[in-house]
Amino acid sequence: MAVKIEDSWKKQLEAEFEKDYFRELTAFVKRAYEQKRIYPPGSLIFSAFDHCPFDDLKVVIVGQDPYHGPGQANGLCFSVSDGVRHPPSLQNIFKEIQSDIEKPIPQSGNLERWADQGVLLLNATLTVEASKAGSHQNKGWEAFTDAVLEVVSREKENVVFVLWGAYAQKKGAFIDDSKHLILKSPHPSPFSAHSGFFGSKPFSKTNQYLTSKGLTSINW
């Protein structure tokens, strides 16, 4: 089955694309885009992979669902397109960056600049119906993104996995912490950011680990 995804990822995941669940998922997603308003735009479903080839990957940040408001979702977790108001979780992420590494809050919430440096911004579910949070959960995306995390854990070394909140931590439970760094904290959502996300310093900790392994740090 032809899936339009960056070549190095296609090579790693080709067996997944042939599985029954993925064929059913593809049919579901295709039908959804034909019948309803779905985010992100179809061409951006695999944007996280296209901006961060497997061979360049250094950091994985796990999100849950794409944003379901107009013009927000661009295929990267927590990211919004240029000119779109920063959602609350992203505002809190930028506040923590400002506190952690003393970097000013950027005007653009488009995190392609991170992805292009080797940060895989992976939502557990890659599509969603407009105004219906969680509407594409339990359709097969979670099995696919579990496979993504599994192949990264197995095939690479010295990757930083950033798991914010209980959902991401459960999803990343099988990551091999003997060869990777796993950073856990509460979610940056306004409901939980003050319970330990603020002050968790994930950005400086990530860069310290990468440089200790002889890798280039991320310009957050």
**Catalytic-residue membership of 100:** no
User: Where in 124-203 does DSSP place strands (E)?
Assistant: 128-129, 160-164, 181-185
Catalytic residue of the set 50, 56, 65, 177: 65
Residue type at 59 in one-letter notation: V
Residue type at 29 in one-letter notation: V
- DSSP structure string for 35-76: HS-EES-GGGTTHHHHHS-GGG--EEEEE-S---STTTB-SS
Please, what is the end-to-end C-alpha distance for the chain in angstroms? 36
Nearest to 39 by CA among 70, 6, 64: 70
The H or E element that residue 171 is part of is: helix 165-171
The H or E element that residue 119 is part of is: strand 119-123
Nearest to 23 by CA among 2, 50, 48: 2
Measured CA to CA, the distance from residue 175 to residue 37 in angstroms comes to: 35
SS3 category, 218: coil
Catalytic center residues:
65
